[in-house]
Amino acid sequence: MIPTITAFEQSPDRGQGMARDMPVRWALEEVGQPYDVRLVSFSAMKEAAHRALHPFGQIPTYEVGDLALFESGAIVFHIAECHAGLLPQDAKARSRAIMWMFAALSTVEPPIIQHEIVTYLEHDKTWYEQRLPIVEDRIRSRLNELSNRLGDTDWLDNAFSAGDLMMVQVLRRLSGSSLLEEYPNLSAYVARGEARPAFKRAFDAQLAVFTGKPPDRLKGAS
């Protein structure tokens, strides 16, 4: 059965792969599962039909058969459980990969989101100049700790896993800020993730929604 995911009809990031359909697409590409995409507008997201799938009126959602899921982390976890390739067979290594998925979303990402809120939504506030360096330092603390743990290894726990997929996607949110560049091993880690063929296919597919042009590999396909 082919799953259907939802994505922005018009992503505010203009196809830079920052919206949360990106990790879901990436996971599906990693495991070789074809998928359909239903594009939704901001207003359609808030309508009852979409809220039946996603109580918070957001993307992404994932439907396959009679299963409907929301929350990108839960969707990636589901994909990783249903297919080989994103979670190790060994039970302990599998638990550690899942641990890194949670670490990405609940420990590393929150200060990065705070930074986006301050930068994009609070730059006209009187306290902006005081708050920005505080939030930046919170990000630096997490990046420093993550950088120390990663060291000179390619991935967080030996082979690439769903934990790396979520962590790379979270760190990508820092693209364009100099914060990530302060940690060369983390910059290289993100570049390694982005160099994966599955990442590129996922990125191209969501970019094509913005440009209105099919990805090169699909040109001429019926």
The answer to whether the beta carbons of residues 104 and 170 sit under 8 Å apart is: yes
Task: List the beta strands (DSSP E) in the chain.
Answer: 4-8, 36-40, 61-64, 67-70
DSSP code for 196: S
Give the shortest CB-131-to-ligand GTB separation in angstroms: 20
Based on the shown chain and the rule CB under 6 A, indicate whether residue 18 belongs to the binding site for ligand GTB. Answer: yes
Cis peptide, bond prior to residue 60, ω within 30 of zero: yes
Least CB distance to ligand GTB at residue 19 (A): 4
- Helix axis angle, 162-172 relative to 21-31, nearest 10°? 150
Given 45, 80, 101, 186, the residue binding ligand GTB (CB under 6 A): 45
The size of the interface with ligand GTB (CB under 6 A), counted in residues, is: 14
Regarding 12 and contact with ligand GTB (CB under 6 A), the answer is yes
Which among 157, 167, 185 is positioned nearest to 107, based on CA atoms?
167
| Stretch 46-75 residues interacting with ligand GTB (CB under 6 A) | 57-60, 71-73
Least separation in angstroms between CB 222 and ligand GTB? 32
Enumerate binding residues for ligand GTB (CB under 6 A). 11-13, 18-20, 45, 57-60, 71-73
